[in-house]
Amino acid sequence: MSTQKGIGIANGKIILMGEHAVVYGEPAIAFPFSGTTVTATLTTASSPTLTSSYYNGPLEQVPTELTSIQTLVQRLTNDYQSPACHITIESTIPAERGMGSSAAVAVAITRAFFAWQKIAYDTKQLLAYVNQSEVIAHGNPSGIDAAATSGHDPILFEKGQPFTTFALNIDAHLIVADTGVKGKTRETVKDVRALMEQHPQTTLATIQQLGQLVNDAKQAIVLNQATELGMIMNQAHHYLQQLGVSDATLDNLITCARENGALGAKLTGGGRGGCMIALAQSALDAKKIAHKLTQAGAKSTWIQELGVYEYA
């Protein structure tokens, strides 16, 4: 049996602005979060198997949460008539925390598969497989998680359109905090859809306000206005609360960040658990806020410099 190996890597992602509204065609800003990564390794095997911190065994018997991986590997194997493979997944992306873990795992596996089979591919082919896998994981994905976890640059994303890269040229630091509670993207996306059906006018108005805030945020970033961006993040969180996708754990950390000097704070990703983000003017403020968030119950925190690097 061949000992040939294929390795694929992907990043976690953070949505700065525009989650949920992006499902309805509004723009969103997201960036690959290199603080967290996933590596998939594929080798030839007699039958398909998976080794991960979550599950270890035959691919046919994965728990429901991993059926998107099972289907992805079946599709790749059928499409390219490849032998069976053993997959090893090593990840520092917390699962189901709004960091795009499911998309990142799919990106890493697809890349590893193409490397293992020595198949040349382009981004469009990669994203087609990842988006199919995301339909199983999330029901009705906009595609933003696939786009952000597979690239290296911040993106301005609109569903169904080619996304553009976008420099986060703003003199500020972003704190990311994990509530430690599993997010429920599939459920929140479904609930926003139900809200849209029950109260179309008010829900659409909220979604459009979120879209407008993304445009305002883009402008604040281009003009390096961190204080404005913070205020825009606060407004976005208010609208996300109206959509019913926040919860007490997220709101508690968001209030804590604001009370401790954050320029603004909001949930990121699907919500109802998962992660929140806060904007701080300086590295020192960011450290202080991260510390306070940990004291308030955050399971992990990360600090990302957004930086106007020319002036550094």
Q: Which residues bind ligand MEV (CB under 6 A)?
A: 15, 19-20, 22-23, 98, 100, 138, 141-142, 144-145, 185, 189, 269-270
Q: Looking at beta carbons only, is 171 or 191 nearer to ligand MEV?
A: 191
Q: Residues with Cβ < 8 Å from 189, sequence gap 6 or more? A: 20, 23, 138, 139, 140, 141, 270
Shortest Å distance, C-beta 247 to ligand MEV:
14
Whole-number Å distance between alpha carbons of 22 and 92: 26
Q: Looking at beta carbons only, is 94 or 141 nearer to ligand MEV?
A: 141
Helices (H), the chain: 67-80, 101-116, 123-138, 144-150, 185-198, 200-222, 226-242, 248-259, 283-295
Query: Considering Cα of 137, then 101, then 279, then 169, what sign does the dihedral take?
Result: negative
Shortest Å distance, C-beta 101 to ligand MEV:
10
Q: Looking at beta carbons only, is 42 or 195 nearer to ligand MEV?
A: 195
Whole-number Å distance between alpha carbons of 198 and 200: 6
Shortest Å distance, C-beta 274 to ligand MEV:
8
Q: Looking at beta carbons only, is 17 or 226 nearer to ligand MEV?
A: 17
Q: Looking at beta carbons only, is 68 or 225 nearer to ligand MEV?
A: 68
Shortest Å distance, C-beta 188 to ligand MEV:
6
Query: Considering Cα of 56, then 59, then 63, then 64, what sign does the dihedral take?
Result: positive
Shortest Å distance, C-beta 23 to ligand MEV:
5
Q: Residues with Cβ < 8 Å from 310, sequence gap 6 or more? A: none
Write the secondary structure of 5-72 as one string of H (helix), E (strand) and C (coil): EEEEEEEEEEEEECCCHHHHCCCEEEEEEEEEEEEEEEEECCCCEEECCCCEEEHHHCCHHHHHHHHH
Shortest Å distance, C-beta 113 to ligand MEV:
23
The residue number with the shortest CB distance to ligand MEV is: 142
Shortest Å distance, C-beta 289 to ligand MEV:
23
Q: Looking at beta carbons only, is 218 or 272 nearer to ligand MEV?
A: 272
Whole-number Å distance between alpha carbons of 235 and 238: 5
Q: Looking at beta carbons only, is 137 or 231 nearer to ligand MEV?
A: 137
Strand 164-165 versus strand 85-91 pairing type: unpaired
